[in-house]
Every structure is written in C-alpha cells, then in structure tokens.
Amino acid sequence: MGKDIPAPLVDSVEAIAAEDTNEDFAFLTALSASVVALLFASLVSFILWDVVAGTISRSLHDSMFFCLMRAPMRFFDTNPIGRVMNRFSKDLGVVDELLPQTMRQFLTVHGMQT
C-alpha cells in the first residue's frame, strides 16, 4: 500500500488535465459568445419586425382613411357609421395580428429553400 506514483507519471497526468481544462474553457467561452450573439440577433429581429409591421399598418390605415373620407355621401347614407367603423377596425386588427406572423413564415420558408 505504500507504493508511490512515479513523478513523471504525475506530471503527465497533471499536464493532460490542464490541457483539458483549457480546451473546455475555450469551448464554453465560444459557446457562451454564440448564445449571446443569437440572443442579440433575435432581439434586433423582433424590434425590426415591430417597426416594419407598424409602418405597414400605419400606411394601410392612412390609405383606407383617405379613401373613406373621399367616399360619396350616398355610401354613408346606405351604411351605418357603426358598421363602417367596425369593418375598418376589424380589417386593421387582422393586419396587425396576422401580417407579422405571415411575413415571418414566408421568410422562414423562403430562407430554408435557398
């Protein structure tokens, strides 16, 4: 039981352990940097989508309102204002909810095919 381990063997085992530790640290550092970069890219992507979707929605609203204000008076005589407002808000709500999702799906599918 009193056998000692030779010094060269201990030194080589310690050297191998030190190399493994350095490689593990480099791997974990690269992995952590990749995760941070991915999170940052996702955040920028979501902010960009919100800005684009808001711009499109605002443009559609302005276009619809412009056409509605130039509609003949007969249109307002035959359609109650409540029905016009409900239709206007429903159309904009659908655009606000579905357009960003549809754009993401389209770009995801298109990106996977190329």
d(CA 72, CA 55): 28
pLDDT for 20-44, tens place per residue? 666 777 788 889 999 999 999 888 8
10-29 mean pLDDT: 69
Please choose, from the candidates 56, 32, 49, 31, the residue with its C-alpha nearest in 3D space to the C-alpha of residue 108: 49
For residue 103, what pLDDT band results from cuts at 50, 70 and 90? confident
Average pLDDT of the residues of the chain: 81
97 HSE (CA, 13 A, CB side): 6
pLDDT value of residue 2: 45
Question: For residue 78, what are its two tokens?
Answer: 């035959």
d(CA 42, CA 48): 10
The model carries a pTM of 0.59
**Cβ-based burial of 80 (10 A; exposed 0-12, middle 13-18, buried ≥19):** exposed
| Residue 68 near residue 84 (C-beta atoms within 8 A) | yes
Task: Show Cβ contacts of residue 65 under 8 Å, excluding neighbours closer than 6 positions.
Answer: none
For residue 50, what pLDDT band results from cuts at 50, 70 and 90? confident
